[in-house]
Amino acid sequence: MITCFIRYEIDPFKKAAFETYARNWGQAIPRCGADLIGYFAPHEGSATTAYGVYTIENLAAYEAYRARLAADPLGRENYRFAQEERFIRREDRVFLKLASAPHAKMD
Count how many domains the chain has. 1
Give a yes or no: residue 102 inside a domain: no
Q: What is the CATH number of the domain that holds 67?
A: 3.30.70.100
Give a yes or no: residue 41 inside a domain: yes
Angle made by CA atoms 64, 68, 70, in degrees to the nearest 5: 115
pTM (2 decimals)? 0.88
Distance of CA 107 to the CA centre of its chain: 29
Give a yes or no: residue 85 inside a domain: yes
Taking the CA atoms of residue 21, residue 46, residue 11 and residue 92 in that order, the dihedral angle to the nearest 10 degrees is: -70
Give a yes or no: residue 53 inside a domain: yes
Of the chain, the percentage scoring pLDDT greater than 90 comes to 88
Predicted pLDDT of residue 103: 65
Contact 46, 60 (CB under 8 A): no
Query: Per the omega criterion (within 30 degrees of 0), is the bond before 102 cis?
Result: yes
Structural domain for 9, as ranges: 2-96
Give a yes or no: residue 57 inside a domain: yes
In this structure, what are the phi and psi dihedrals at residue 99, rounded to the nearest 5 degrees? -120, -5
Give a yes or no: residue 72 inside a domain: yes
Give a yes or no: residue 90 inside a domain: yes
Predicted confidence (pLDDT) per residue in 2-52, tens digit: 999 999 999 999 999 999 999 999 999 999 999 999 999 999 888 999 999
